[in-house]
Amino acid sequence: MSPFRLDDGMRVDGSHSRAIAGIVEQEWRDAHPGDLIGLRHVRVEPTPAATWATAMGAGRTPALESTEELR
């Protein structure tokens, strides 16, 4: 199992929740060296709008017609 860190606030510097999450992340890294940790900054790096449309269509596309993007 690998952890996934999701940061949602627009405030990067001075954010208390990011600081706490950073401590937890570092503790995990210290205890599990080499593990990959998923990281997503929702407001800093938003998902492009077209991604959602592609994701919705991917589930309705037959496997033989599926493209690399849909997979």
Could you tell me the pTM of the whole model? 0.60
Q: What is the pLDDT of residue 46?
A: 75
Does 31 fall in a domain?
Answer: yes
pLDDT one-digit tens code per residue, 10-62: 788 888 999 999 999 999 999 999 999 999 888 877 777 887 777 777 777 77
Asked whether residue 28 is domain-assigned, the answer is yes
**32: containing domain:** 4-65
> Alpha-carbon distance 36 to 28, whole Å?
10
With respect to residue 19, please indicate whether it lies within any of the assigned structural domains.
yes
- Please state the domain count of the chain: 1
Q: How confident is the model at residue 2 (pLDDT cuts 50, 70, 90)?
A: confident
Nearest to 9 by CA among 38, 51, 46, 36: 46
Predicted confidence at residue 22, as pLDDT, reads: 93
